[in-house]
Structure 1
Amino acid sequence: MSHARRNYGQYCGLASALDVVGERWTLLIIRELLMGPRRYGELLAELPGIGTNLLAERLRSLVEMGVLTKPASRDQGYELTELGRRLREPVLLLARWGMSFLGAPGEDLEVRPHWGFLAVQAMIDPARASDLDEVYEFHVDDVVFHISVERRVPHAVEGPAAGPCAMVARTDAKTFVEIGAQRLTPFEALASGRLELSGAPDAVMRASALLGLIPATEAAPLGAAGAR
């Protein structure tokens, strides 16, 4: 049984957006679907605590609003529409903003490796991209993704890189998010054994600057083609 949709009753773009995605859990559903189609059971597993009825209601509402498409069969998953995919940048900006409020990762807090891929997209500052075309690969628990910098344009891509990498980082999901929240520097994580890095030191510095983990001035020569 559907119920009347709540709204703010304001003729304002922000209020209108919140009428659609402002309900509890909705943006976390969007977060999961930004990483690709997900079946109902997969969403339920990746959103512990949501409850089956609430998930079903949120999905139904998002489909009705044209944000998601409903799977035609059990083998297919819910997927963002073109309208839904426009939420990528706002969600990434909100995730970056939210990292300022992250405290210590308590044992009662869930963290999933694939959230690292969203985190790294939120952390990328394109203005800090090097003139050097190179690839940085990340292994977060059992999830692999990479950043490819080509002509000063960075691209975050799921899966391993096709060719050689200037830097490879290996860590666990909690450590990765702590580094992204700047509660822990990459160098502190290295010293404690929670992070492993391979690659030339200058490439590590360029990757750290690209992700906003160190000031760009510390990653010199960021734009020097002869840095190698």
Structure 2
Amino acid sequence: MGHSRRNYGQYCGLASALDVVGERWTLLIVRELLLGPRRYGELLAELPGIGTNLLAERLKNLVELGVIIKPESREHGYELTELGQRLREPVLMLARWGMSFLGAPDEGLEVRPHWGFLAVQAMIDPELAPDVDEAYQFHVDDVVFHIAIEGRVPRAVEGPYAGQAGVVARTDAKTFVEIGAKRLSPFEALASGRLSLVGETDAVIRSSVLLGLMPATAAPMASSTR
């Protein structure tokens, strides 16, 4: 009777979603692809412990279900379809929710710089976007990304900002995820030298409010006067 995927057998949107992404590793594959196309070898390297057979099986399932597109050649990577991209908000919300359960970063736990990029996206509160078009650039270990704000809409983008960033933050992945998990305050990270923020005070405050690192009430200059 060939290999068939397990399913909950429930006529419900949530059960149906979990039939697709509820299996172990699947959403972590999606997490990687939300950051951009990834080749098979890259996924294997970024998901230590998955094993080559399981990765192949999960990718095959996601391709069949129309969540990801198979690369045309070895040079190209797997990428999310439009349907797959619609997982961005739920994944970020789950990441934000999951940060409440993160303990201290154990020596045995993997941490990758680009997961810091996901942490930042999960931390952004669009409601608190400043009324100023500017960008905040992050250097997390050797990975660079930025948040660009245009017309009060923040966008997180891989790579450096083309213009002059209002704030440049430098840190390491572990510190960054700890800050996101609210286990470490930005002030403790700054004081211990694990985080550096360079920029005009007002811009640093606006970026801190946007990421929920500082209460909006503490920054009158960050609130819109419209």
* TM beyond 0.5: yes
- State the AA in 2 paired with 1:76: H
Consecutive aligned runs of 4 or more in structure 1 exceeding 6 Å deviation: none
**Which amino acid in the other structure matches residue 7 of structure 2?**
N
Equivalent pair of 1:205/1:218 in contact (CA under 8 Å): no
Q: Matched residues in 2 for 1:48 and 1:118: separation?
A: 18
Distance 2:75 2:13 in 1: 36
User: 2:193 matched to which residue of 1?
Assistant: 193
Separation in 2, partners of 1:127, 1:224: 11
SS across alignment from 1:127: helix
Paired position in structure 2 for 1:21:
21
Secondary structure of 1:49's counterpart equals coil
Is the partner of 1:114 in helix, strand or coil? helix
Number of matched residues? 225
Residue 202 (structure 1) shift: 2.1
Which residue type is aligned with residue 186 of structure 2?
P
Residue 72 of structure 1: how far off its partner (Å): 2.0
- Report Cα offsets for 1:29-75 as digits up to 9, x if no partner: 00001111111111000000001111011011111111111112111
CA distance in 2 between partners of 1:54 and 1:67 (Å): 17
| Residue 24 (structure 1) shift | 0.2
Distance in 1 (alpha carbons) for counterparts of 2:128 and 2:160: 23
Q: Which residue does 1:175 correspond to in 2?
A: 175
Structure 1 position 85, deviation (Å): 0.9
- 2:37 aligns to what? 37
Q: Which runs of 5+ in 2 are unaligned?
A: none
Code of the residue aligned with 1:151 in structure 2: it is G
Residue in structure 2 matched with residue 159 of structure 1 by the alignment: 159
Q: How far is the alpha carbon of 1:131 from its aligned partner? A: 1.1
Matches within 5 A, 1:13-162: 13-162=13-162
- Seen in structure 2, the aligned counterparts of structure 1 residues 5 and 169 have a Cα distance that, compared at 3 Å, is same
Give TM-score, length-normalised by structure 2.
0.96
Deviations 1:133-187 (A, max 9, x none): 2211110000111111122111111111111121110000000000111111111
CA distance in 2, matches of 1:87, 1:222: 31
Contact 1:136 1:165 in 2 (8 A): yes
CA distance in 2, matches of 1:30, 1:224: 35
Structure 1: runs of 5 or more not aligned: none
Structure 2: distance between partners of 1:175 and 1:4: 42
SS in 2 for 1:147: strand
**RMSD of Structure 2 on Structure 1 (CA):** 1.3
Do 1:148 and 1:157's aligned partners in 2 also have CA atoms closer than 8 Å? yes
1:203-222 aligned within 5 A: 203-222=203-222
2:114 partner amino acid: H
CA distance in 2, matches of 1:79, 1:174: 27
Amino acid at match of 1:50: I
TM-score (norm 1): 0.95
**Do the aligned partners of 2:216 and 2:223 also contact (CA within 8 Å) in 1?**
no
Deviations 1:87-140 (A, max 9, x none): 111111111111111110111000000111111111100111111222111100
Q: Which whole-Å CA distance do the structure 2 matches of 1:178 and 1:219 have between them?
A: 23
